[in-house]
Structure 1
Amino acid sequence: MSDPIIKINNLHLSLEGGAGRVNILRGIDLTVARSETLSIVGPSGAGKTTLLMALAGLEQISAGEITIAGTRLSGLSEDELARFRREQIGIVFQSFHLIPTMTALENVALPLEFSAVPDPRGRALEALAATGLEQRAAHFPGQLSGGEQQRVALARAFVSRPALILADEPTGNLDQETGHKVMELLFNLQQDQGTTLILITHDLNLAQRCQRTIRMADGQLDHIDWAAA
């Protein structure tokens, strides 16, 4: 694979639980190309979200290596990890994770303000316009529908033009029609910016829209050949 953006080598992640140590990720190896779209499917508890959080530097791994855009995550301090996330990674959750006391515009501008980017509000308004929400920029999350809140979350994820988008069941809290519109927008933004996308979904039809799909079970990965499935 030429010019990979993600390299995961022998990744392990274990956590202490009430019954002792639990192995959540068990020897993950994965390479993802720049601009690739990759879906991850599998049962609840398989480790899908934990893998995404490890890629974002939000879960501390127990062994192995994660390298993103040439940067080895284990070599970064907490401050460096936070800066790396702001500059290189956008995250879209099932829950929208918008700050309720901030307007849509302020929510989208926030990561740019942390990075001291010039004209953060101007860029945030452009990002909202790309999601069709420029007329709702002054509204607070509580004044927006679920679909609108997720579109604000998409604008926030893409506003810094990150190299990587991590999306964890982004339509999980939406009805089918609204979810379809949100996913169309997500794929359009990904294509426009050439961003690498890793998508966790239980929807196999949605998974097949990605260039590659892997199945996760018991903390391990398997490739899915749709032609043979």
Structure 2
Amino acid sequence: MIELSQVALKLGSAAGEVNILNGIDLKVTAGETVGLVGPSGSGKTSLMLLLAGLESATSGQIRIADAQISGMSEDALALFRRRHVGIVFQSFHLIPTMTALENVAVPLELAGTANPFDLAEAALAEVGLGHRLSHYPSQLSGGEQQRVALARAIAPRPKLLLADEPTGNLDIETGSRIIELLFRLREQVGATLLLITHDPALARRCDRTLRMADGRIISDERLAA
């Protein structure tokens, strides 16, 4: 599902070029769950953005779902994301002027999916928000907004699900419920999951835990059988 070979990312700054990722090699098989941990600034989010095609590597090769995304055009990457990738951000990133139903239906419509609103309604019911279809983000709690974001990510049945600190803006109890929902939905659609977290206990729920530091993967621990 994921194959990275000598992937590097360098970004310019006023002080000169900064190495963000340094020669990342990584293979993840279809259906695996992977927890990505490490201190702030270690490169976790940058790696996720590369996998999502939201950032371009400076060098190296990236294959996702048997597609070589390195060197794809912006339009091609957008089509690739619609078909294969679901993303859950810490800050939800819902469109404030759209209802919960519309937020979930939009990516389905853009992908040309048949009956997008029916599928969006079913996805919201799956996350327990069937009664909140017409509510706007400002009318929803943080936990409800994150559930809308989960429904939006899962509704297209992605092959790869990326979650960047999905409970970071939630209280402990609400965050725990969101995590249970995330793992249950991932299993239902059979997606490969890459989960960025600062919580070692949460990372240990995954099949593997990757630890990053200074733009490199410094350890790769697999869950004991």
TM range (shorter): over 0.9
Give, as a single letter, the amino acid of the residue that structure 1 aligns with 2:45.
T
For residues 105-143 of structure 1, the C-alpha deviation after alignment (integer angstroms, 9 at most, x for no partner) is 000000011011111000000100110101001100000
| Match in the other structure for 1:67 | 63
Ranges of 4+ aligned residues in structure 1 off by more than 2 Å = 222-228
1:60 shift after superposition? 1.2
Q: TM-score, normalised by structure 2?
A: 0.97
Aligned-residue identity in percent: 59
- Structure 2 runs not aligned, ≥5 long: none
Q: Which of residues 128, 135, 142 is equivalent to 1:139?
A: 135
* Paired residues for 1:203-222 under 5 Å: 203-222=199-218
**C-alpha distance in structure 1 between counterparts of 2:15 and 2:105, whole Å:** 43
| Match in the other structure for 1:37 | 33
The CA RMSD measured in Å over matched residues stands at 1.2
1:188 aligns with 2:184: yes
Moved more, 218-227 or 22-31: 218-227
Q: Which of residues 47, 50, 72 is equivalent to 2:43?
A: 47
* Paired residues for 1:67-216 under 5 Å: 67-216=63-212
**C-alpha distance in structure 2 between counterparts of 1:15 and 1:84, whole Å:** 24
**C-alpha distance in structure 2 between counterparts of 1:227 and 1:159, whole Å:** 29
Q: TM-score, normalised by structure 1?
A: 0.96
| Match in the other structure for 2:14 | 18
- Structure 1 runs not aligned, ≥5 long: none
For residues 182-229 of structure 1, the C-alpha deviation after alignment (integer angstroms, 9 at most, x for no partner) is 00000000111110000000011100000000100000002244789x
Give, as a single letter, the amino acid of the residue that structure 2 aligns with 1:83.
L
User: How many pairs align?
Assistant: 224
